[in-house]
């Protein structure tokens, strides 16, 4: 077996809308590009809003072997090689209890994520009926249901807990609540420090507003597809998803 070369650069990439198309398939040419760049020492760091198991499932589609996962928009950072959790942020139990109370009061469904474990909370089970320990160690809360009620809940949560949580649209009529300090850019910096890779040798790419801090933590910053204006402003290069593979190749070549 050919020995894997040492890590000399990082490719910090978002998944959905960036490496992965809307139909779940890899972006054009991205599988071969990631393999070729890995052979040159440019390692993939998956940076996503997904939980760890969802990110790992996507990597199978990409046929990639990442060195790290930055999940839940930076709330969970994992060394993929050693299986070591480098960072795990949680939402205060009292805040989770309040979120559940608001959501159930509006008839919304609630899903709790404790690390990488998922737990659906029955609508009939109010926050007051659960012991406080039931809400300890929660990394993400996902609310789903009627769009108007989700908007009402989001406004109430921002007003009450804006200092302890951040809200992110999760698609498909859902809203994700995360620890306020969750940040893709900070997660990437932690990975880079852990692996000893300088910021001058990091490429980052993404397609959504949540990827802005990710791009700002890299030397080469790429916005993909119909990225919002804030992300385009942070980027040095804006490319279509079809052109991303070649853009990554050129970015890594610029380090030589």
Residue 243, in any domain of the structure: yes
The domain total for the chain is 2
pLDDT for the residue 169: 83
Residue 1, in any domain of the structure: no
Mean pLDDT of 194-201: 97
Does residue 174 share a domain with residue 126?
Answer: yes
Q: pTM for this one?
A: 0.93
CATH number of the domain to which 131 belongs: 3.30.1240.10
Domain boundary among 152, 179, 206: 179
- Cβ proximity of 245 and 27 under 8 Å: yes
Residue 45, in any domain of the structure: yes
**CA dist 198 → 13, 23, 191, 195, 204 (Å):** 17, 35, 10, 9, 13
Note the pLDDT tens digit of each residue in 86-122. 999 999 999 999 999 899 889 999 999 999 999 998 6
Does residue 115 share a domain with residue 80?
Answer: no
Does residue 245 share a domain with residue 123?
Answer: no
Q: How many CA atoms lie within 13 A of 39 on its CB side?
A: 9
Does residue 222 share a domain with residue 110?
Answer: no
Structural domain containing residue 132? 93-179
pLDDT for the residue 134: 79
Residue 156, in any domain of the structure: yes
Contacting residues for 67 by C-beta, under 8 A, at least 6 apart? 7, 10, 43, 44, 45, 79, 80, 81, 191, 195
Does residue 195 share a domain with residue 73?
Answer: yes
Domain boundary among 145, 179, 213: 179
Note the pLDDT tens digit of each residue in 220-253. 999 999 999 999 999 999 999 999 999 999 999 9
Does residue 203 share a domain with residue 145?
Answer: no
Note the pLDDT tens digit of each residue in 134-189. 789 999 999 999 999 999 999 999 999 888 999 988 877 899 999 999 999 999 99
pLDDT for the residue 130: 61
Note the pLDDT tens digit of each residue in 31-57. 999 999 999 999 999 999 999 999 999
Does residue 202 share a domain with residue 166?
Answer: no
Residue 4, in any domain of the structure: no
Residue 60, in any domain of the structure: yes
pLDDT for the residue 2: 57
> How far apart are alpha carbons 185 and 219 in whole angstroms?
12
pLDDT for the residue 1: 45
> How far apart are alpha carbons 10 and 192 in whole angstroms?
8
pLDDT for the residue 74: 97
CATH number of the domain to which 63 belongs: 3.40.50.1000
Residue 3, in any domain of the structure: no
Tell whether the model's pLDDT for residue 65 goes beyond 90.
Answer: yes
Mean pLDDT of 196-219: 97
Tell whether the model's pLDDT for residue 126 goes beyond 60.
Answer: no
pLDDT for the residue 3: 73
The rounded mean pLDDT for the chain is 93
């Amino acid at each position: 077996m050919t020995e894997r070369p040492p890590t000399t650069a990082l490719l910090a990439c978002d998944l959905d809308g960036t490496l992965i198309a809307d139909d779940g398939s890899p972006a054009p040419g991205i599988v071969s590009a990631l393999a070729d760049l890995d052979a040159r020492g440019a390692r993939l760091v998956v940076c996503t809003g997904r939980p760890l198991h969802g990110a790992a499932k996507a990597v199978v589609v990409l046929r990639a072997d990442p060195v790290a996962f930055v999940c839940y928009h930076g709330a969970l950072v994992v060394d993929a090689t050693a299986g070591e959790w480098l960072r795990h942020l949680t939402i205060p139990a009292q805040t989770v209890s309040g979120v559940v109370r608001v959501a159930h009061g509006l008839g919304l469904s609630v899903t709790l994520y404790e690390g990488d474990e998922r737990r659906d909370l029955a609508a009939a089970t109010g926050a007051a009926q659960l012991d406080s320990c039931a809400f300890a160690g929660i990394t993400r809360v996902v609310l789903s249901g009627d769009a108007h009620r989700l908007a009402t809940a989001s406004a109430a949560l921002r007003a009450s807990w804006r200092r302890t949580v951040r809200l992110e649209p999760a698609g498909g009529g859902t809203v994700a609540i995360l620890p306020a300090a969750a940040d893709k850019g900070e997660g990437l910096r932690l990975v880079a420090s852990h692996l000893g890779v300088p910021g001058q040798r990091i490429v980052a790419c993404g397609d959504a507003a949540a990827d802005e801090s990710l791009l700002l933590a890299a030397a080469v910053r790429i916005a993909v597809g119909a990225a919002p204006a804030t992300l385009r402003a942070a980027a040095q290069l804006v490319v279509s998803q079809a052109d991303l593979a070649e853009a990554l190749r050129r970015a890594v070549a610029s380090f030589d």
